Amino acid sequence: MFQIEMPYILFLGDSPYVKTAHGVKDWRPDQCVAQFRFPSNPIDLGLPDMDFSAAYAAGARTVLLGGAPPGGGLPDHWVDSLVEALKTGLDIASGLHDKLNAHPVLSPLARDLNRNLWDIRTVDRSFSIGKFEHRSGKRLLTVGTDCVVGKKYTALALHKEFVARGIDADFRATGQTGILIAGSGIPIDSVVADFISSAAAELSPAAADDHWDVIEGQGSLFHPAYAGVTIGLIHGSQPDAMVLCSNPALERIGAFEAYPQPEIETCLTRYIEAAQLTNPEARMVGISFNTSSFSEYDA
C-alpha cells in the first residue's frame, strides 16, 4: 500500500490539463503548500508559486505531478526540474503512464539520495488470498450505475461529513487521484485479477467496532469492460453499507452505445445480491445523483 509523505508542492509544469492537481487541492487544501509551474503556463490554482527549496522550507515533502501531458508520458523538459526537486530532499508522486522508477535519470538519482518515487498506477507487490471472514469495524462502499458518475466524490463527501460529526472514519482510496488525496491506498485496477478481492480486504482491515472505512468504488457491475474490478472490490471490502452513484443525464454506458444505462431498481438488487456473498448483512443505504450537468433548478 502506498504511504506518501505530505504536504505537497503541486507540479503543473506547462500542462494546461491539471485535473489531478485540482482534485487534490480541492479536497486537501491543508496539505498543498505551493505550486510549481513554468512561466508559460497560465493555469493558477491560487497557491503560492515557489521553487523547490522554498517549498521544502515551508514544509512540503513530496512533489505531486498534477498535470497531464498529452499521452500521459513524462516530458523530457520536465526532468531537470524533477532532478532539482530530488536534490532538494523531496519525494515525487506521479500518476503518469511513464514509470518514474524506470526513468534512466530519476530512478538512480532517487536511489542514491534515498528519496521515494511513487508510481501511483503501479502495484509492485503481491497479495495473499484472504479468508474473507467477518472483520470488526464498519465499511461503506460507493458503487455505480456506470463509470465516472461520482463514486470518488461521494466517498470523499461522506468521509468529510463523518469526520465533521465526530465519527471515527478513514477514506480508503482505490484510484490514482484518490490515493494522492489520501496519501495512501491501493490502485485496485492495477492488481492482478485473482487478487483484487484480497487487496480490497487488506485495504479495509479489522478495526474498532465504531470505526468506518469509506471505500472509493471503481467501475460498475453494469459496465461490459470494468465489471470485473467492481465485483472483486465488493467481495473483498465486505461492505456493511453501499451508496449507489448515478448520473441521470446519461442514457448509454460510456463508450458502449449498445448498452443502455441500467434501471436504478435493477442496480439496487444486483449490488445487494453481489455484496451479500461475503457479508449477508450488506444493504444499500442511499443514492447519490451526479447533477453537475444540470441547472440548479433541474437538479
Look at residues 189, 289, 288 and name the one whose alpha carbon lies nearest to residue 241: 288
pLDDT tens readout for residues 155-178: 999 999 999 999 999 999 999 999
Kindly report the backbone phi and psi dihedral angles of residue 260, in degrees, each rounded to the nearest multiple of 5, phi listed first.
Answer: -75, 160
- The contacts of residue 50 (CB under 8 Å, 6+ apart) are 9, 33, 34, 35, 36, 58, 60
pLDDT tens readout for residues 110-130: 999 999 999 998 887 889 998
Phi/psi class of residue 166: alpha, beta or left (left: φ > 0; alpha: ψ in -120 to 50)? left
Q: What is the pLDDT of residue 77?
A: 95
Q: Which three cell numbers stand for residue 246?
A: 448515478
Q: What is the pLDDT of residue 298?
A: 81
pLDDT for residue 299 is more than 80: no
Q: Which three cell numbers stand for residue 24?
A: 487534490
Between 15-19, 144-148, 171-175, 214-218, the lowest mean confidence (pLDDT) is in 15-19
Q: Which domains does the chain have, with CATH numbers?
A: 2-119 (3.40.50.720), 138-289 (3.40.50.300)
Per-residue pLDDT, averaged over 8-34, amounts to 94
Per-residue pLDDT, averaged over 97-101, amounts to 92
What does the H/E/C string look like for the chain? CEECCCCEEEEEECCCCCHHHHHHHHHCHHHEEEEEECCCCCCCCCCCECCHHHHHHCCCCEEEECCCCHHHCCCHHHHHHHHHHHHHCCEEEECCCCCHHHCCCHHHHHHHHCCCEEECCCCCCCCCCCCCCCCCCEEEEEEECCCCCCHHHHHHHHHHHHHHCCCCEEEECCCHHHHHHHCEECCHHHCCHHHHHHHHHHHCCCCCCCCEEEECCCCCCCCCCCHHHHHHHHHHHCCCEEEEEECCCCCEECCEEEEECCCHHHHHHHHHHHHCCCCCCCEEEEEEECCCCCCCCCC
Burial of 210 (0-12, 13-18, 19+ CB in 10 A): exposed
**In the predicted model, what is the mean pLDDT of the chain?**
95
Alpha carbons 299 and 294: distance in angstroms, whole number: 6
Per-residue pLDDT, averaged over 45-72, amounts to 93
Per-residue pLDDT, averaged over 194-221, amounts to 97
Alpha carbons 252 and 108: distance in angstroms, whole number: 47
Alpha carbons 58 and 151: distance in angstroms, whole number: 33
- Read off the pLDDT band of 79 (50, 70, 90): very high
Q: What is the pLDDT of residue 130?
A: 87
Half-sphere exposure of 35 (CA within 13 A, CB side): 25
pLDDT tens readout for residues 257-286: 999 999 999 999 999 999 999 999 999 999
Look at residues 216, 183, 191, 189 and name the one whose alpha carbon lies nearest to residue 123: 191
pLDDT for residue 236 is more than 90: yes
